[in-house]
Amino acid sequence: MTDNPIQLVGLIGWPLEHSVSPAMHNAAFDALGLNWRYTLLPTPPGRVKAALTDLKAQGYRGANVTVPHKQVVMPHLDEITGAARDIGAVNTIVVQEGRLIGHNTDGDGFLAALREAGFAPAGRRALVLGAGGAARAVVYALAQAGCAVTIHNRTVQRAAQLAHHMQRIGVHAPVTWVPITATLAELNLARFDLLVNATPVGMWPHTDASPWPETLPLPSHWTVFDLVYNPAETQLLVQARAAGATAVCGLGMLVHQGALAFTRWTSHSPPIEVMRVAAENALKH
C-alpha cells in the first residue's frame, strides 16, 4: 500500500479507438506531478449502467462521457448539476463519497474557445447546424451568453424540439429554428455573425464532405466555428478561409471542456497549453 495511490478517471463511450483525451489528460497530470491516470472505458450500448457500477467499484474519481451515451447516462446518476440538466446531456462525472455527480463542461468549453478566437457572443446572432448532443450544449451556451440562435437541422422536428426546450427553460436570448420550407440559400445570411457546425459532417474519414453548400458563398464577416477537430482543417474551414471569414477549429473546445473537467476532478488549475499540445500531437498519429 503506497502513501499516494494512483487516482483513476476514464472515458465512457463507444467506439473510443481514436480518442485523444487520454493523451491530453495524462500530459496534464504529468505536468503537475499528479499521480492520476486517464483510461479508456469502451462501453457498448446497453452496458452504461454496468459501466457506472464498475466506475464506483474500481474506485474511479470520475469520468468523461462521450457519444453515444451523454443522454443515456443521466437516469443512472445520483445528481445532475444545473447546466447539465438544462442542456439535457452529461459529459463529465465526478465521484464524491460514492455518489455519481453529472456535469456538462461542453457549453462552457465551447464559449472559452470562441472567446479565445476573438468572438464576443453577447448581442450577436448565430446560425447553428445540427440539433444533436453537441448542438444542445452550443445553443444553450450561446443563448445564456446573450447570443440569439437560429438552428438549422436536416430533421426539422429535432431543431424545433431543441428550440422549444431552450425557450421552456428560459435562456437569455431568442432561440428559433429554420422551417422545412427554407434552405440555407433562402436565409438572410448577412444578419448572422457566427456559424457553428455541430454535426459530424466533415469528420475523418469523410474529410471531403462539408455541411455548407459549395455553391453558396460564406459571408466574409462571419466567424465559422467547426466543432469537428479531426481533421483540424475541415472542408468547411477551407471554404471559410477562401471567403475571407474567420475560421475556428474544434480542437479548442475539446481542450477547454477537458480543462474544466480536469479541475472538477482534481481541484487543480489545468495546464491548458500542455493539454493543447498533447491533443495536437495525438491527432498527428
Beta bridge partners of 62: 9, 94
Q: Helix crossing, 106-116 with 133-144: angle to 10°?
A: 60
DSSP letters along 193-225, please?
Answer: SEEEE-S-TT-TT-TT--SS-TTSPPPTT-EEE
Residues near 142 by beta carbon (within 8 Å), at least 6 away in sequence: 111, 121, 126, 128, 149, 173, 194, 196
How far apart (Å, rounded) are the C-alpha atoms in residues 120 and 64?
28
Whether 284 is a known active-site residue: answer no
Amino acid letter for position 263 = T
CB 62 within 8 A of CB 9: yes
CB 269 within 8 A of CB 100: no
3-class secondary structure, 136: helix
User: Most distant CA pair in the chain: distance in Å?
Assistant: 67
**Adjacency order of strands within the sheet including 223-226:** 175-177, 148-152, 125-129, 194-197, 223-226, 246-248
Which candidate in 49, 56, 70, 284 is catalytic? 70
How far apart (Å, rounded) are the C-alpha atoms in residues 53 and 100?
10
Residues near 150 by beta carbon (within 8 Å), at least 6 away in sequence: 125, 126, 127, 128, 175, 176, 177, 178, 187, 192
How far apart (Å, rounded) are the C-alpha atoms in residues 108 and 270?
15
Catalytic residues: 70
